[in-house]
C-alpha cells in the first residue's frame, strides 16, 4: 500500500537516497568506461579489432591489435580441424572470399601482415590451398561452397549426446527467431499499430455498446497477441534452414544463393540476444500503451512500476504535470537500466592466448553485477505483466537463464534443469528485494514537487501551467495500482465501479477463472508437445530416460505458463483498465 509522504529533510531517506544515487552513478561510469557493445554489433576479429571502426585500441601482447578497420566491414569466421583443440578464428575483410585466392593472399589483401612461419598464420590458414566460396549477407561472410578450409558455420557446440542435441536445437531456434523478427519488423510494427487502433476504437465504442463488450474486447486482445506469436512461429518454421544436403551452385549464379541461405552465425552471444528481445518487448508494449493514452482524454492507465509512483502523483500541485512527467520519468528509468545492462554484459577483459590472439575474460565481479542488474530489470518490466507470486518465478527464471549463458564456458545445456530450479527460488527472492532499490529513486520528484507545492505561491505556478497545458490537455492519466493499490490510489474510479457496475465486476472475476484454465491448457499442450518430440523425433523411450523427459517437460511446462501469463494477464489488465475508463466517463456524463 502507498507509504506516507516523507519530508525532503528526513535523515533516513536522505542516507538511502545518497547511497542509491552514488551506486547508480558509479555503476554507469564503470560500465560505460569498460563496456564494448560495438564488438557484438559490428563483429570483431581474433585480434580485438572491431570491424568497420578506426578507433580500435591497442591490446598488450597482441601484435595485430589497434588496426584501422574502417574499410574492412565484413566479418569472416574460419574454423580449424577438431584435432587441433583450438577455437575458431575471425577476420575483418573488405570483401568475402570467392574461391579464387589462397588464404595467404586473403590475409595480405585485408591488411593482416603475418610472417610465413607465424603461429597465427598457421592457425588461420592451416594447410589449405584455396579459400572456400563465401557470399555477403548482413555484414557476415557465409560459406556456400567449401574447399579445404574447414569452416565453422555456426556457434553450436559439437556435443553428440542427447543434451547436446537439445542445446543445439534451442540455440538454433533462438537464432532463427531473431533473424525472422529482424526480417519482418515492418509486419510486426503494423500489427502493433493495429492493436493500438483496436484499443482506441473499443474505448470509443464503450460510449454506446453495453458493458458485456468487455468479454469481446478481452477476446480481441488475446487473439491479437496470439496472432503475433503465431506469426513469429510461422516465420521461424518457413525460414528454418535445411541441413540434409549443402548446395554447390556454379560461381556465376550468385543471386540464387538466397534460396539456399545457410544458417547465419550470429556473433552476438545468446544472453545478449535475450536482453535485446526483452528490450524490444518493453518498447513495443510502451508504444501500444502510449498510443492509447495520447488518443483518449479520460483513459485510466495502470502503471505497475511501484506503489511510490501513485503516491508521488498525489503530491503534484497541478493536473497538467501528470502526463508528461509520468511518461518521461518511467522512460528515463527504463533507458538507464537497459543501457547500463548492455554495457555491463560486454565488460570482458581482452588478453592474449598462446598464439597471440585475443581471448575475452569475464571478471567474476562483473558477472555478479550483471546478475543484479538483470534481476532489477526483470522485476520492473518482465514481471509487470504477471500477477501475484508468479513474478518471482518470471524474474528468477529469466535472470538465471541469462546469468548461466554469461558465465558458462560450454553451453551443453541451455535451460534450467531439475537441480538448478532450487537456486531459482533463492535468486527470485533476491530479485524481489533488489526491486525495492527503485523506491528511493521515485521519491526524488515526489519530494521535490511536494516541497515546491508548499513554497511556491499560486500565481508563481501559473507560467508552468501555461507551458505544460498544451502538451498534456489531451492526456489526463489516472495513476493507480492493480488490485489493492488501484483501490487506494484511484478512489474515484473504484467508487464508480462499486456503485455502478457490480454485476460487471463479478463477470470479470468469472473471466479470471477461464484465464487460469487457458494458462493450464497452454502448459499441458507444451508438455505434450515436448513428450511427442522426445518420442518421435529423438526416438527415446520416456520410461527409460526419465532425466531427459524431466529436462524437457519441466522447462516446457514452466515457460508455457510464463508466456501464457504474460499475454493473457496483460490483456486482462488492459480490459479492466478500459472498463474503469468507461465507468468514469459514464459518471461524468451523468453529472453533466
Question: What is the average per-residue pLDDT within 232-251?
Answer: 44
- Boundaries of every domain in the chain: 41-145
137 phi and psi angles, rounded to 5 deg = -145, 110
Q: How far apart are CA 478 and CA 459, in angstroms?
A: 26
92-134: pLDDT as tens digits: 888 877 766 777 777 778 778 776 666 667 666 764 444 555 6
Closest to 364 (Cα-Cα) out of 420, 407, 306, 400: 407
Q: Say which range, 13-17, 122-126, 447-451, 478-482, has the weakest mean pLDDT.
A: 478-482
Dihedral, 122, 127, 132, 137 alpha carbons, nearest 10: -20
pLDDT digits (tens, 9 = 90+) for 209-237: 554 555 555 455 545 545 554 554 455 45
3-state helix, strand, coil in the chain (%, to 5): 60, 5, 30
Query: Of 68-82, 110-124, 358-372, 374-388, which range is least confident?
Result: 374-388
Cβ–Cβ under 8 Å, residues 119 and 111: no
**For residue 373, pLDDT beyond 60:** no
- Report the DSSP beta bridge partners of residue 140: 75, 137
Query: Closest Cα partner for 98 from 70, 76, 123, 116?
Result: 76
Question: pTM score > 0.75 for this model?
Answer: no
Residue 581 and residue 575: Cα distance in Å, rounded? Answer: 10
Average pLDDT on 17-33 reads: 72
- Cα dihedral 377, 383, 384, 389, rounded to 10, equals -130
Site of grid cell 484465464 = 515
- Angle (nearest 5°) at CA 380 between 377 and 386: 115
498-526 pLDDT, tens per residue? 444 444 444 444 455 556 666 666 667 66
- Give the three-class secondary structure for 141: strand
Amino acid at each position: 500500500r502507498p507509504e506516507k509522504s516523507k519530508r525532503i529533510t528526513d535523515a533516513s531517506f536522505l542516507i538511502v537516497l545518497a547511497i542509491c544515487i552514488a551506486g547508480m552513478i558509479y555503476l554507469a561510469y564503470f560500465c560505460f568506461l569498460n563496456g564494448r557493445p560495438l564488438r557484438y554489433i559490428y563483429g570483431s576479429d581474433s585480434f580485438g579489432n572491431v570491424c568497420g571502426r578506426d578507433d580500435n585500441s591497442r591490446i598488450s601482447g597482441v601484435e595485430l591489435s589497434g588496426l584501422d578497420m574502417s574499410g574492412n566491414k565484413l566479418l569472416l569466421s574460419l574454423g580449424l580441424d577438431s584435432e587441433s583443440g583450438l577455437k575458431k578464428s575471425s577476420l575483418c575483410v573488405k570483401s568475402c572470399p570467392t574461391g579464387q585466392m589462397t588464404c595467404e593472399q586473403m590475409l595480405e589483401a585485408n591488411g593482416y601482415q603475418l610472417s610465413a612461419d607465424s603461429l597465427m598464420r598457421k592457425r588461420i590458414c592451416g594447410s589449405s590451398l584455396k579459400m572456400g566460396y563465401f557470399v555477403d549477407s548482413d555484414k557476415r561472410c557465409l560459406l556456400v561452397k567449401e574447399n579445404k578450409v574447414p569452416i565453422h558455420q555456426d556457434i553450436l557446440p559439437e556435443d553428440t549426446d542427447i543434451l547436446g542435441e537439445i542445446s543445439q536445437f534451442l540455440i538454433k531456434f533462438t537464432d532463427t527467431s531473431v533473424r525472422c523478427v529482424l526480417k519482418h519488423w515492418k509486419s510486426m510494427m503494423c500489427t502493433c499499430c493495429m492493436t493500438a487502433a483496436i484499443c482506441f476504437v473499443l474505448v470509443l465504442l464503450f460510449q454506446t455498446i453495453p458493458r458485456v463488450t468487455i468479454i469481446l474486447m478481452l477476446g480481441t486482445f488475446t487473439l491479437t497477441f496470439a496472432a503475433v506469436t503465431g506469426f513469429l512461429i510461422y516465420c521461424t518454421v518457413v525460414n528454418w534452414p535445411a541441413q540434409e544436403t549443402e548446395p554447390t551452385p556454379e560461381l556465376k549464379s550468385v543471386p540464387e544463393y538466397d534460396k539456399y541461405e545457410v544458417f547465419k552465425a550470429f556473433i552476438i552471444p545468446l544472453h545478449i540476444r535475450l536482453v535485446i528481445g526483452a528490450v524490444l518487448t518493453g518498447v513495443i508494449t510502451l508504444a501500444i500503451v502510449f498510443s492509447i493514452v495520447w488518443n483518449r482524454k479520460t483513459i485510466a492507465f495502470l502503471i505497475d512500476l511501484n506503489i511510490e509512483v501513485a503516491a508521488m502523483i498525489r503530491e503534484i500541485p497541478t493536473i497538467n504535470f501528470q502526463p508528461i512527467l509520468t511518461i518521461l520519468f518511467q522512460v528515463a528509468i527504463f533507458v538507464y537500466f537497459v543501457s547500463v545492462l548492455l554495457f555491463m554484459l560486454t565488460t570482458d577483459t581482452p588478453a592474449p592466448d598462446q598464439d597471440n590472439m585475443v581471448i575475452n575474460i569475464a571478471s567474476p565481479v562483473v558477472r555478479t553485477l550483471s546478475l543484479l542488474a538483470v534481476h532489477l530489470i526483470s522485476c520492473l518490466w518482465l514481471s509487470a505483466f504477471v500477477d501475484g507470486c508468479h513474478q518471482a518465478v518470471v524474474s528468477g527464471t529469466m535472470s538465471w537463464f541469462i546469468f548461466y549463458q554469461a558465465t558458462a564456458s560450454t553451453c551443453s545445456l541451455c535451460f534450467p534443469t531439475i537441480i538448478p530450479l532450487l537456486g531459482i527460488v533463492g535468486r527470485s527472492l533476491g530479485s524481489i528485494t533488489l526491486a525495492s532499490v527503485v523506491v528511493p529513486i521515485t521519491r526524488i520528484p515526489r519530494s521535490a514537487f511536494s516541497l515546491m507545492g508548499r513554497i511556491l505561491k499560486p500565481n508563481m505556478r501559473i507560467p508552468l501551467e501555461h507551458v505544460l497545458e498544451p502538451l498534456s490537455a489531451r492526456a489526463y492519466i489516472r495513476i493507480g495500482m492493480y488490485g489493492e493499490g488501484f483501490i487506494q490510489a484511484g478512489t474515484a474510479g473504484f467508487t464508480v465501479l462499486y456503485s455502478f457496475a457490480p454485476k460487471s465486476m463479478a463477470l470479470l472475476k468469472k473471466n479470471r477463472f477461464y484465464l487460469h484454465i487457458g494458462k493450464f491448457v497452454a502448459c499441458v499442450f507444451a508438455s505434450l508437445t515436448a513428450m511427442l518430440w522426445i518420442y518421435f523425433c529423438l526416438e527415446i523411450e520416456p520410461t527409460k530416460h526419465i532425466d531427459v523427459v524431466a529436462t524437457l517437460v519441466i522447462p516446457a511446462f514452466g515457460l508455457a505458463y510464463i508466456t501464457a501469463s504474460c499475454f493473457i494477464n496483460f490483456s486482462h489488465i488492459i480490459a479492466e483498465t478500459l472498463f474503469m475508463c468507461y465507468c468514469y466517463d459514464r459518471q461524468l456524463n451523468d453529472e453533466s
